[in-house]
Amino acid sequence: MIVAIAIVAALLVVGIVALVIARRRRARSLAPASDQPPLPQVLVTEVVERPTLDEAPSLGTRIGATRGVFERIRSMSATGALGVDELAIVEEVLLRSDVGVATTASILDGLRRDGAGDGVAPTLRRALRACLVDERSVRDRAEPGRVAVWLFVGVNGVGKTTTIGKLAHREIAAGRSVVLAAGDTFRAAAAEQLGQWAERSGAELVRVGEGADPGAVIHDAIGRAAARGADLVLADTAGRRSNSTNLLEELAKVRRVADRGPGQVVETFMVLDATTGQNALSQAREFLAAAAVSGIVLTKLDGTARGGIVVAIERELGIPVKFVGVGEGVADLIPFDPDEFVDSLIRA
């Protein structure tokens, strides 16, 4: 009897619960609609191409620090004869960007004499462009039966070995076969770093133990390149100090060895650090006679406001800047375009 009563009670509880749930569901279904407005219809009227992330930034973006120095020039509206204040602004901008005292004085003399007929910025653009060399082609072919050699010189710390690695990557990507010569035998880290670049780029590496004769290493690399039909040898050299007589004599010897058959030195690149400004110009002067420099590679141009050193180098030394470093990436060592460079500084 007790069990029967319990069962009946349980059934009543279940029924009551079910009835409550049913009423709540019905109340929700009868609730008034929300006051929120309906979602608008979206009509596609134009398909826009997704922007690419691989597009390289402009040179002006890459050298923003130097471009920033020239902001006062770009904002000047004076034309014709320039006053003392306008000339002072031009002088300050040129010196701050490390164009150099001699180049700045020459440009100011022209402005005092001829004025700025169509404006300061266009006049200064022509003056800066006139300081830059027109011919800056890069030789990559030797005489028949010989192997083309690019020789790299420069003090330690300017990015010489990294420059060689990036140019090796560039040449191999263009379909050329490359042999790297680890001729900086006085610094073990240089050979190790060059070995990493060889693996990364697919170039062949010739190296020996620390302290070996640099000329012998480069000679062996040229011989291997000739035996295997390689197109180009990129040869590193020592760079302990720019004012070391022994170092400069060693570089002259290395060049003679590299230029002896079957090799032919078609380019000797002096690697300079743009962030050192006028010190880079002093280094270049030290190396010119010993190494017969044919072109400059200016690294770290993106990290300095002293980009005007390009103008000083070319005007005072007459040697073209052929490549500039504008970033850390393997593709951020690019051929130098003088027109693009000057426009990046002057044009709005």
Partners of 205 in the β-ladder? 180
Give CA–CA dist 343/68, Å, rounded: 13
Do residue 283 and residue 191 come from a single domain?
yes
The answer to the question of residue 160 being in a domain is: yes
Q: Is the pLDDT of residue 109 over 60?
A: yes
Lowest mean pLDDT of 34-43, 48-57, 245-254, name the range.
48-57
The phi, psi pair for 181, rounded to 5°, reads: -115, 115
Higher pLDDT, 245 or 216: 216
Which residue in this structure is represented by tokens 């100090």? 241
Same domain as 231, residue 169 = yes
pLDDT score of 210 more than 70: yes
Per-residue pLDDT averaged across 174-188, rounded?
92
* Percentage above 70 pLDDT, the chain: 82
Top-confidence range, 76-80, 89-93, 280-284 = 89-93
Look up residue 3 and give its two tokens.
Answer: 């069990």
Residue 60 or 228, more confident = 228
**What is the pLDDT of the chain when averaged over all its residues?**
86
**Is the pLDDT at 42 greater than 60, yes or no?**
no
d(CA 234, CA 253) in angstroms, rounded, equals 17
Asked if 338 and 132 count as a contact pair (C-beta separation under 8 A), the reply is: yes
Q: Inform me whether the pLDDT recorded for 112 exceeds 80.
A: yes
Contact at 8 Å (CB) between 264 and 255? no
Same domain, 192 and 273: yes
Tell me the per-residue pLDDT of 121-168, one tens digit each, with 9 for 90 and over.
999 999 999 999 999 999 999 999 999 999 999 988 899 999 999 999
Same domain? 200 vs 226: yes
CA pseudo-torsion sign 213, 196, 272, 150:
positive
State mean pLDDT over 81-96: 95
CATH number at residue 113: 1.20.120
**Nearest residue to 261 via CA among 185, 149, 151:** 149
Q: Which two tokens stand for residue 247?
A: 């170092």
- With a threshold of 0.85, does the pTM exceed it? no
**Interaxial angle between packed helices 245-258 and 278-291, expressed in degrees from 0 to 180 and rounded to the nearest 10:** 50
Q: Is the pLDDT of residue 26 over 90?
A: no
At 49 the pLDDT is 45
pLDDT-based confidence at residue 52 (cuts at 50, 70, 90): very low
Of 251, 277, 293, the domain-final residue: 293
In which domain, by residue range, is 114 found?
59-130
| Nearest Cα to Cα of residue 98 among 287, 339, 308, 322 | 308
- Angle, in degrees to the nearest 10, between helices 214-228 and 245-258: 20
Residues 116 and 178 placed together within one structural domain of the fold? no
Q: Look up tokens 């003088």; give the residue.
A: 338
Whether 102 maps to a domain, the answer reads: yes
Statement: residue 330 has pLDDT above 70: yes
pLDDT score of 61 more than 90: no
**Is residue 121 situated within a structural domain?**
yes
